[in-house]
Each structure stands twice: as C-alpha cells, then as structure tokens.
Chain A
Amino acid sequence: MFRNNYDNDAVTFSPQGRIFQIEYSEEAVKQGSVVVGIASKKHVVLCAIKRNAEELSSYQKKLFAIDEHCGIAIAGLTSDARVLSNFMKQQALGHRLTYGRAMPVASLVDEIGTKAQINTQMYGKRPYGVGLLVAGVDEDGTHLFEFKPSGMTEELVGCAIGARSQMARTYLEKNIDAFADASKEELIKHGLQALHETLVQDKELTIDNTAVGVTGFKEGSKNKAEPFKLYEAAEVKQWLDAISESKEGNEGEGMDVDE
C-alpha cells in the first residue's frame, strides 16, 4: 500500500529530489567489509578486512593492483569491482603505450567517475554496487581517491568505506596530523589500527583476513614509483604483532575510557 514508487529505476527523481537506486547502491557499499586508505607525502597505504563465505572457503580478495603506480581497495559487489578494475587496468596500460608514462591518478579516477555517472542517467542501467579507494603516485605526488557508485570522486588524506567504517574514520580524524610525515611502517600501522577499530566484539585481525597494499616513491627519488605491492597472509604478521603489542601496552590506561 505504501510502496515506494520512485525506486524502480535509476533515472527518476523522487518528489524530495532523491534518486533511490543510487542511495541503495551506496547501501551495498556499506555492507561490504571495511577498507581503509591513508596517504603520506611519500606513500599511500590501503588496508582491508577480507571475508570468507564459510569456514571452509577462501577469503575474498579486496585489494587489486591496477598498474605499477596504482592500486585499488573495494567495498561492495566484487563482481562490479571486477568490471571497474579491468577497465582501469586497460586505461592505465593504454596510457603507458601511447604516452610512455604512468597515467596520472586523477585522470584515471575521472574516467571511472564518468563511466559510473552514465549508469545513473540512462534508462535500463543500474549504478555500480561498489565503492573504491584508489591509491597511486604520479608527478604531483601521492594520491588517495574515494569513488562512489553515484560517480562522485574526491581526493582525501585518509578514508574508510564499508561496514562500520565510521569507527575507522573517527580514528583517522583523531590521528590526521601524524599522516603527512609518517614513514611507510607507521602508515601501515595506522591503517591496521583504524581497521581494528571497526571490529565487532569477538573478532580479531588475523593473517588470513587482513590485507595491506602499498605504493609510494622509491627511497631518495622524487618521481620514481615503487611498484604497488600487496601484502597478504604471513607477510602482514609483523604489523599485526606490532599493533597488538602496542594495544597491550595501552590496555591498562585505555580500559576505563573504553567502558
């Protein structure tokens, strides 16, 4: 009886000026597991919590390398992310072939922004059900972009999207001053700390469900990119140990604040 009549397609406004299909697609992003991105002057870090469908299955990938200088983290429908990441890989490679240089991150993000917006303005299409964090380096420095299914993109210093990501964003806001000059290691630890904030009661970051991706400038170089590197499984152990150590150290004084 009180059915919403304005959410049957992505091209019809509601009388309140909203487009429900786009809002629903952003809801899909909120249901994906959380990813965090932080940029310093020298590095950009992506951290993700991976989910497994059941105990016996493997964990769904959350971080993807797009090109030497660029990678993405996804939250939402993985199948939609596949389309976008394949497209981004093609664009980045095409740019390398025609110009002999790495594609500027801003132009790459513009391309997917345009592509996603078209889906919100054509009858018979639907918005992508996935949000991205795009991390990369180019001549202008390090970059972290957020991409939303509406086609909106913006550049940030730190960002988190996905389930319970507000907790991570709050952590990032608290520590924002530390990021710009942070080392690669510090940046990764901040990322994992932010991830940790989003966890529900009896969940923990483990080597199975945590992934870290890093790109940045080579040591002592202004414009040479360090290839986007993905750390998974045993490779993330060192950082997980480091943050749980610092947790234990703070536990005593932090206890009553948490309660």
Chain B
Amino acid sequence: MDHRPQAWGRPRDDVYGAYDHSFMNTNSHPNQHTQQPLVTGTSVLAVKYKDGVVIAADNLGSYGSFARFTDVKRLHTFQDTSVVGFSGDISDMQYITRHLHQKSIEESYASSSANKKSRLSAANLHTYLSKMLYRRRSKMDPLWNHMLVVGFDDDEKPFVGSADLLGTTFTAPTLATGIGSMLAQPLLRTYAGTDEEAAERTKEEAIKVIQECMKVLFYRDARSQETYSLAVVSREGVEMKTSEKLENMSWAFADRIKGYGTQTV
C-alpha cells in the first residue's frame, strides 16, 4: 500500500486504478484572446452644433456579411448627459455598456444629495474609456470597438471624441468611425470644418447633414441598414430616437452599376 502523504485520502490505485487527471483540463487547446470581431456594427457619425451634438448609427448587427440582427441599439446614454456610439464587436459593446451602467450607479452614489452635480462629463468618460481600451490592448486582449463619445466637456462646450481598440483618441467638430470615416467624414467637413463653424450651425442643420450621410452610407456600405438610431445631446438632456428610417432614397443609379455580379455584358 502507498503510504506517501500525496496519496492520503485518495482512491487506492491498486483498487480503483490510476487516477485520471484528464478531466481537469477538458479543452486540450490553449486559451485564446479575441482575434477578430464576430457580430459587428458598422459606422457611427457625430457632429457638433451650437447647443450640443447629434450622433447616429444604424441598428444592424452583422455576422460577417450576413445581416444577422436587425434591431441592435448601438447608441447608449450615460447619466442623461452623454451618449456613446459603438461600432465593432457587439458583445464587447454589451460588456462595456454593462460596465458603464455600473459606473454611473457608483457615480450617483458619490454625489447623492439633490443639489450636487459632480458627474462624469462626456470628456471625462472619453478619457476613462480610452484608458480602458488601451489597457486591454496592452494585455493583448482588446475590446474590439471604435466608439464615439458625445456630450459636453468640463467647460460645458459641446464635445465629440473618438476612442478605438488601440487606445487612440481624437476629438474634432465632426467624427465618423469605420467606412463612414472615408465616405461621410468629407461630407461632414463641408457642414463644419472647424469648431467656429460648428458653433454657427443649428440643430436642424446638424440633423439634416447626419440624415444625408446615413443615406450615402446605406447606398455604399454593404454592412448597413435602413433603420437607424439618432440622438441629440443638448444641455436639456438626451433626446434618443431608435427607429428612424431613411427617406427619399433613389436607386435609379443602381441599374447602371456593372462589374459586381454575374452580368456578362
């Protein structure tokens, strides 16, 4: 009989056979970090106007090129003062929004009495998110998102900031993620190229240019959808619409496009 301490309390090998260690490690392959996004959202657009910010993103969650989920809300409000728009991986988006929800609860405990207003501004939130993304990329386990954070900065001026999976940060009067940064950003710059110009634009003008850009993106972006969400962040709060539809589309140009399908001409 085996009297060594490491055998104490164990089934006897001579009665039950050798101990089977294999159940301890069920997966024979090593753990893997995220290598690519799976369910994804496409571009997010945001522009400043004189009293706030307008942000939009469509409601599609694509699985590769498959339009898998058609009712995914990609704009999330934070404490009624900021909005975060997500492109990239939807499950990472859900992880981050759960985390932000927790954060906002903690923050409201920290300033619980009614007349207190110390809150995280959109600029503070943007810094926080960028640190979070950078930390994860440094662990070689990135959160696969590119997001726009909109609201107001500490001087209560309109704020639009971008943060991506590498931890890169950027602010500008107008911003777009993904393919929108190529297709919509040049159009948005004609609306407002500088903060001074953005400070002269009205809410209606801002909404109009966003609608136009969403339309261009739906024409050209193969991972986009007709229904989208649009939020206006002003000093009064957040006005969120989640089932906007593109209007006045014309597909007349479509039958002149050649070279993508099976045509032989």
A-contact 0/1 string along B116-140, CB 8 Å cutoff: 1111110110111001000000000
B residues in contact with A223, CB < 8 Å: 154-155
Q: Give CA–CA (A100, B128) in the complex, Å.
A: 8
Total A-B residue contacts, Cβ distance less than 8 Å: 36
User: What residues of chain A lie closer than 8 Å to B124, measured between beta carbons?
Assistant: 99-101
Chain B contacts of A98 at CB under 8 A? Answer: 127-128, 131
List CB contacts (< 8 Å) of A89-147 with chain B.
97-101, 104, 106-107, 110, 138-140
**How many interface residues does A have (CB within 8 Å)?**
13
Report whether B111 and A99 are in contact in the complex, using a CB–CB cutoff of 8 Å: no
Contact across chains for B154 and A138 when beta carbons are under 8 A apart: no
Contact A139 B117, beta carbon cutoff 8 Å: yes
Partner of A104, one of B118, B121, B127, B131: B118
Interface of B is mostly: loop
Distance in Å: Cβ of A89 to nearest Cβ of chain B: 19
On chain B, the number of residues with a Cβ less than 8 Å from chain A's Cβ atoms is 17
B222 interface residue (CB < 8 Å to A):
no
Residues of A within 8 A of B246 (CB): none
Q: Which residues of A contact B118 (CB under 8 A)?
A: 104, 106, 138-140
B110, closest chain A residue (CB): A107
Nearest A residue to B120, CB-CB: A99
Q: Which residues does chain A contribute within 8 Å of B127, judged by CB atoms? A: 98-100
CB distance from B155 to the nearest CB of A (A): 8
Which chain A residue has the least Cβ–Cβ distance from B154?
A101
Q: Which residues of A contact B120 (CB under 8 A)?
A: 99, 101
Complex: A140 Cα to B119 Cα, angstroms: 10
Contact present for A104 and B123 (CB under 8 Å): no
Minimum C-beta distance from A98 to chain B (A): 5
Can you name 17 A-B residue pairings with CB atoms under 8 Å? A98-B127, A98-B128, A99-B124, A99-B128, A100-B127, A101-B120, A101-B124, A104-B118, A106-B118, A107-B110, A139-B117, A139-B118, A139-B119, A140-B111, A140-B118, A223-B154, A223-B155
